[in-house]
Amino acid sequence: MKETKHFINGEFVGSANGRTFANTSPATGQQIGIVHEAGREEVDQAVSAARAALTGDWGRMPVAERMALLHKLADGINARFDEFLEAECLDTGKPASLARHVDIPRGAANFKIFADLVKNVPTESFMLDTPDGAGALNYALRKPKGVIAVVSPWNLPLLLMTWKVGPALACGNTVIVKPSEETPSTTTLLGEVMNDVGIPKGVYNVVHGFGPDSAGEFLTSHKGIDGITFTGETRTGAAILKASADHIRHVSFELGGKNPALVFADCDMEKAVEGTMRSAFANCGQVCLGTERVYVERPIFDEFLARLKRGAEHMKLGAWNDPETSMGPLISKEHQRKVLGYYDKAVAEGATVVTGGGEPEMPGDLAGGAWVQPTIWTGLADDAECIRDEIFGPCCHVRPFDSEDEAVALANDTDYGLAAAIWTENAGRAHRVAANVNAGIVWVNSWFLRDLRTPFGGMGASGIGREGGVHSLEFYTELKNVCVKL
């Protein structure tokens, strides 16, 4: 059985306390490995290693050399593409067709993109007049922030972890990653690639475990870290904020969403249905940017709903390595219980189940997995819990609207503000609605199309701060001013 250890100071090490937990396949419910659980001792060791590396070879390395190493790292992931692919698919159950195009290539690309970006970022300077007429020159310098704690989720494990580790290392920081307990494998495998390409010891460290009273809490409350970047649930973000408050840490939070899609009668129906199919059901609905609230202008409501239903009923649930599979399982039996709980609650709250609504029958080994049916509802009240809460499963509610103002008001009737999709062929409306919807990212006639130079993050309960492009530098560097009296 596969054994997954921590990666500290360039070495794979087990837990001193001997504690381990099971790595379970979400597709079958069977155990596929054991994972060491870090205690305070391993977290202390990782923080010490990361701090020492800041002033060692890594800290002294010329920028061009650091960037060349990050390019080699991305090439190193691609050279072991199939190993990363299999590890990610076994941990998550997601179809290889998805991970091959999204998780692994984008996971690797994150290192190159931020290496190229950091090399080319200017800083500001100002000349100040002084009474003696000689003046003073001010210029800004960006320094690495220091030791960064990276706490990542299970839905896109490699991609979302490197989305943070890429800019952190490009800016000269060192990191300690606490991957989700559900998906420990690719984060650990990356340690091997770090060693293979010659990233100095202590720059990249990994500790495994859970959140409260485990590696997550020990890391985020540790005195020796300089910043925390976290992607996960809003509730967890609040717990981390409290745990880190005593030491005054800069945080960057990418949290949950309850994202709307606004489908106007003047949309291209084909595109809108195809896009909403993806945004509601891709990755079994476990995408923070996914759509769980669909608002459709009344004249096209029936046709749109019928087409979406047809699409959902054509999805093929199956094993990750079956080329026919278009949807995998949820991440765990625990998450399956949560999602099925919402499926029951929707009915109790008065929903009409258009399709799905339960657990599918799966053949053979797959019968023990965390499967749920892609599900569409209508008829829920705007204040129903299924409309307010992030469910994080393959489900959406479809509701009609009658005017643009009503559509915008419905979209904004949420505590969250992560993403929105607008489907219209009217350019004026597209820009107007995009400006008025409260979300960190708004797509017009597309979904999940990402230019990594652009700001990414959420409003309200969806996060704190922006990452992406030069915006990542706000978190991963300290900006200081030098004032020189001439």
Parallel/antiparallel/unpaired status of strands 291-297 and 395-401: parallel
416 binds ligand NAD (CB under 6 A): no
DSSP-derived 3-state class of residue 72:
helix
Locate tokens 């959140």: which residue?
211
Site string for ligand NAD, 162-201 (x = CB under 6 A): ----------------x-xx--------------------
Please, which residue, 103 or 254, has the CB nearer to ligand NAD?
Answer: 254
Among residues 108, 390, 438, 472, the one that binds ligand NAD under rule CB under 6 A: 390
DSSP secondary structure letter of residue 199: P
DSSP secondary structure letter of residue 200: P
Q: How far apart are CA 482 and CA 480, in angstroms?
A: 7
Among residues 171, 255, 407, 420, the one that binds ligand NAD under rule CB under 6 A: 255
217 binds ligand NAD (CB under 6 A): yes
236 binds ligand NAD (CB under 6 A): yes
Q: How far apart are CA 205 and CA 191, in angstroms?
A: 8
Parallel/antiparallel/unpaired status of strands 147-151 and 174-178: parallel
Q: What is the DSSP string of 218-269?
A: HHHT-TT-SEEEEES-HHHHHHHHHHHGGG--EEEEE----EEEEE-TTS-H
233 binds ligand NAD (CB under 6 A): yes
DSSP secondary structure letter of residue 185: H
Name the catalytic one among 37, 181, 254, 467: 254
φ and ψ at residue 170, rounded to 5 degrees: -60, -35
Determine whether 254 is an active site residue. Answer: yes
Determine whether 288 is an active site residue. Answer: yes
Residue 286 beta carbon to ligand NAD: minimum distance, rounded to whole angstroms: 7
Q: How far apart are CA 195 and CA 442, in angstroms?
A: 39
Please, which residue, 111 or 456, has the CB nearer to ligand NAD?
Answer: 456
Q: How far apart are CA 377 and CA 373, in angstroms?
A: 12
Among residues 257, 285, 393, 468, the one that binds ligand NAD under rule CB under 6 A: 257
Count the neighbouring beta carbons within 10 Å of the beta carbon of residue 388. 14
Please, which residue, 286 or 373, has the CB nearer to ligand NAD?
Answer: 286
Among residues 232, 318, 357, 393, the one that binds ligand NAD under rule CB under 6 A: 232
369 binds ligand NAD (CB under 6 A): no
Please, which residue, 261 or 273, has the CB nearer to ligand NAD?
Answer: 261
Task: Choose the stretch contacting ligand NAD; rule: CB under 6 A; options: 31-39, 200-208, 225-233, 372-380.
Answer: 225-233
φ and ψ at residue 216, rounded to 5 degrees: -60, -50
Site string for ligand NAD, 73-112 (x = CB under 6 A): ----------------------------------------
Please, which residue, 152 or 477, has the CB nearer to ligand NAD?
Answer: 152
Size of the site for ligand NAD (CB under 6 A): 31
Task: Choose the stretch contacting ligand NAD; rule: CB under 6 A; options: 198-206, 231-239, 302-310, 397-405.
Answer: 231-239
Distances (CA, A) of 370 to 27, 358, 420, 444: 6, 12, 28, 33
φ and ψ at residue 282, rounded to 5 degrees: -60, 145
Site string for ligand NAD, 418-437 (x = CB under 6 A): x-------------------
Q: How many CA atoms lie within 13 A of 361 on its CB side?
A: 0
Among residues 204, 392, 475, 476, the one that binds ligand NAD under rule CB under 6 A: 392
Residue 243 beta carbon to ligand NAD: minimum distance, rounded to whole angstroms: 6
Task: Provide the sign of the torsion angle of the four alpha carbons 376, 377, 378, 384, taken in this order.
Answer: negative
Name the catalytic one among 284, 288, 395, 396: 288
Q: Which of 80, 95, 332 is nearest to 186 (CA)?
A: 80
Distances (CA, A) of 264 to 258, 271, 288, 402: 19, 12, 23, 10
Please list the active-site residues. 254, 288
Using CB under 6 A as the criterion, which residues of the chain lie in contact with ligand NAD when the complex forms?
A: 151-155, 160, 178, 180-181, 210-212, 216-217, 220, 231-233, 236, 239-240, 254-257, 288, 390, 392, 418, 458, 463
